[in-house]
A = this chain, B = another copy of it.
C-alpha cells in the first residue's frame, strides 16, 4: 500500500541507493535529480518505513518513558503527567516518539522495550522505581536520564527541581511571619526530594538560629490521611508548633483537617505552607501558600538531555536542578 524507495526509483529509472541519498540529503546526487526525487516522493506520499530503517541503523527514534504505575508521590494529582506531556511535545519537534511503560516493584529488572531494541534511550521517572533497576540501567552505557530520582552512589543524568531551595524559602517565609516553633511533615526519606526538602527546612531553621526548634515527622506515604495523622501527633504534643511546612500539598490539606478538628483556625492558630501547587491548593479555604514546581520545564530539559545522550553516549553525566517559586496565598498568614 504505502510507497517505498523502489516505487520512486522505478518511476525515475534510477536506483534506490540514489533515492535514499537524495531523501536523507547525503552527498552523491546531483541537485537537479535530487529535486526530482523529492518531488515524486511527496507525489507518491512516500514515508520511510521505520522498521526497515531501524533494522539497518539500529536506531528507532523512540525513547522510553518508565514510571511506577501507582506513583503519584507528592499528591494524588498525577504528578508526572505534565512532565510526560512536556517531554512528548519537545521530542516530537525532533522527530522522536515516546513509548510508555509502567514498572512496579515486582517487575523483572529488564525492560522488554530495550531488550527488543524498541528505544534509543530511557527516561526514568519518580522515586519509587526499583533502585536495582535504576543502577543497572545507568551503568549499562545505554542512554538514561532520571527525573525526580537520583542514585546516591553514582553520577547520573538527573533532572530535579530545587527541593532544597524551595523548602528553605518556605520555612524562611514562615520565620519571617514571626514563627519560631515551625514543624515539618515530610515524605519517605528514601526519596531524594523528601531528603532535600527536609534539608532545606533544617537549613532555614539553622540560619535563623532556631536549630533547637526543629521538629519533623516522616511517614511512608504522602496522602491527605497521613498528613492529618502526622499533624495530629504534632498538635497534640507538649509544645505544639504554630506553623507547619508540609512536604506536599496533600499532606498540608490533611494538616488543615487536623487543625480544624482541634478548633484551630488557619492561619491564625496555625500557619501552613505546602509544596507542589496542586489545583486543590488554590481552591482551598484559606487558599494554600505553596511552592510551585515547573514541571513543563523539567520535562523539556529531560527530553533535550536524552537526545544529546543518544547522539553522543559518551557525554559525562550532568545533574540539573530547576528552580522553584513561592506562591503566596493566605494559609501562611499573608493578607
Q: Which residues of A contact B (CB under 8 A)?
A: 2, 47-52, 54-55, 58, 60, 62, 65, 69, 75-78, 81-82, 84-85, 88-89, 92, 95, 97-102, 112-113, 115-118, 224, 250, 253-254, 257, 260, 278-280, 282-285
Contact = CB atoms under 8 A, between A and B. Distances in A.
Contacts of A278: 280
A283 B280 contact: yes
A284 B256 CA distance: 11
A89 to B, nearest CB: 6
A253 to B, nearest CB: 5
Contacts of A283: 224, 253-254, 257, 280, 284
B116 A75 contact: no
A97 B85 contact: no
In the assembly, how many copies of this chain are there?
2
5 contacts: A50-B116, A76-B279, A97-B100, A98-B101, A254-B283
B117 A51 contact: yes
B115 A2 contact: yes
Contacts of A58: 51
Contacts of A254: 283
Contacts of A118: 50, 62, 97
A282 B55 CA distance: 51
Contacts of A82: 78
A74 to B, nearest CB: 12
A82 B48 CA distance: 33
Scoring A60, A75, A100, A250 by chain B CB atoms within 10 A of each residue's CB, the highest score goes to: A100
Contacts of A88: 69, 100-102
A94 to B, nearest CB: 12
Contacts of A49: 55, 116-117
B279 A117 contact: no
Contact of A50 (B69, B95, B117): B117
A315 B297 CA distance: 43
Contacts of A69: 85, 88-89
Contacts of A54: 51
Contacts of A112: 47, 95, 97
A315 to B, nearest CB: 20
